[in-house]
Structure 1
Amino acid sequence: MKGTHDMLSESYKFKDSNKTTSKEGSDSEEETSEADESREILSKATKSHEMLSEAGKPHGAEESHQSEPDNKEVVDSSLLERYKHQCPPLVLPYIKRIFDPPSDGHCGFHAVSRALGYNNEGCYRVREEMIEEISKNKNTYTKLLGGANELAKFVDGLQVGEKKGPFGPSKWLNQLLHGQILADLYVRPVIFISLKSSSSFIPLRLGPNQSPDTTPIYLLHVDNNHWALAYIEPKDGVIPIPPPLSSKQMVSDAAKGWKSNILS
C-alpha cells in the first residue's frame, strides 16, 4: 500500500478497506492553535460565499440546471462519463457511479441524504439534524466557527423550512462550513473532491468503533456550483483519502482511532 501511495501522489493517502481499527496515541506534530484554525476555515468559507453572492447567478448556476431533462434524482453509471473530466485524476479510477441530485439549492444536502439512505425529502432531515447537532454541542461549534455571531449565521443558512427552492448561495452546502459538522453528526468521514481542491473531514468526538458505518461519504463538486454523490469502489483494498482539515486540537481520545482506520 505504501508503494501505491508513493506512485500516485503525496497529497492523497490511501486507506486499506480491510484494515482493522486500533487506538492511537497523541499526535506529536506541531499544531496550530484551535482559534487560528477556526478563523482560517471561517475566513475561507465566508470569502467563498461572498464571491458567489456578488456574482448573483453566474453562468451555469444551480438553478439553470432545472430545465435539463436528464438532471433528475437518478443514480446512473452514464453520469460518470458526463462528469469524468471534472473528477480529480487520482480519484476517478475509484468512482463506480454518480448520483446527480436536483439543482434546487439543496443539491449537497440531497447528496448527503442519499448516502445515508434517506428518502427523496431527506435533504430537509439532514438540515434539521445538523441544526440539532449544533444545539447539542453549542460550545464546540462556537469555537470551531469563530464565535456566537458566526454560529448564528451558520444556523440561519441551514434553516429553509419546507421550501422547495431554488435558494441562493447562503443556503447551499459549503465544504469548509459544513464538512466538520457532517462528519461529527453522522460519525463518518466526509470527503469533498473537485479539480480545484480535495479534502477530508474526520469525526472529532466519536471513534470508528462508535460509528454505524465507517464508509466515507464522497461529495463531488461539478459545474462550479453543484454537488453530486460519488460512489467509491476500493481497488486492491484501498480507497483515496485527501488531506484532512479537521482540527487536531479538538479531537477526543476515542476519535484518534480514525487515524489508523482511515488514514493509514
Structure 2
Amino acid sequence: MAYPLEGITLRAHHKDSIDYLAGKLSLDPSILAIIIAGSVAKGIAREDSDIDCYLVVSDEMFEEKKRQDQLFYFAKEGCDYTGGYFDGKIIPYHFLEAAALRGSEPTRASFEKAFVAFSQIPGVDDLVAKIPVYPEKNREKNFQDFFAQVELYGGYFANRAIETGNEYLLIYSIGQVTLFAGRLLLAYNRVLFPCHKSMMAVLRTLTHIPERYFELQEDMLLNTNRETIRAFVECIRSFHAWGIAPHEAVSRFILNNEWNWLEDEPPLSDR
C-alpha cells in the first residue's frame, strides 16, 4: 500500500477496503489519485462507517462526468462489511490547487487529516496538506459579515415574523441566527466551518465560547419568542467586539444579502 499509515488509525476492514479501491482504480489511467477523507481518515469511524474519498481524474474525464451530472462515485464492491460503501466525489487536479488557494471553509474542512491512498501525481500529498488551513485573511471581515447576519435576523426579521405571524420567516430567521452565531464562534477560535450537519458537534469542542451558549441556543430553538431570541443574540453581542456597530449592520446586510449579485452570479437561492 502506497499511503502513509503513521499517525492514522484505521480499522482493519476499512484498510482492506481502501487497499481494494486503490488496487482496482490504479489500473485506470484516467484516475490520477485517490484521497481518503471523512471519519475514516480522522480515525473516528464507527465499525459500519462508509469511506469518503476524492477521486482525482484527468480533465477529460472530469468534463465528461460533469456533462453527465455524475460527479460522484458510489460503490459497495470491495467494502465487505455491514453498512460499507465508498462515497466519493470526482474532481480534477486543479480543484485541489483552487481549494488550497481559495477554497470555502466546508471544502477545506473536508480535507482535514485526509491522506493519499494512491497517486500518479508528484507532490500531491503536500498540496492536500495545504487545503485544511484556516483562512486567516478572511477572519476580521467574517466577524463583521457574520455579526451583521445575527443582528438583522435576530432583530428586525425575527420581530417582523412574530408581529405578522409569518412562521416561515421566523423559522428561517432563527436558523440564520443559529448558523451565523456558530460561524462567529468558529472564526473566533480559528476553526473551519465543517458543514451544517457537523457544526454543532464541532462547536462543542471549542475552547472559547460564551457561558450558557448551548442552553440559550436550545431555549431559542425550542421556545421561540422575543425574549429567547434576544437573550441568545445578546450572549453573542457581548462575547466579543466584532468590529461593526449594530447600526452599521444594515448596510453590510444589504451588500451581502440583497446586492450579492453585483460582482458574482446570484446565489442559487436568489436566481
TM-score strictly above 0.5: no
The TM-score with structure 2 as length reference comes to: 0.27
- Structure with greater contact order relative to length (CA < 8 Å, sep ≥ 6): 1
Structure with greater helix percent: 2
Normalising by structure 1, report the TM-score: 0.27
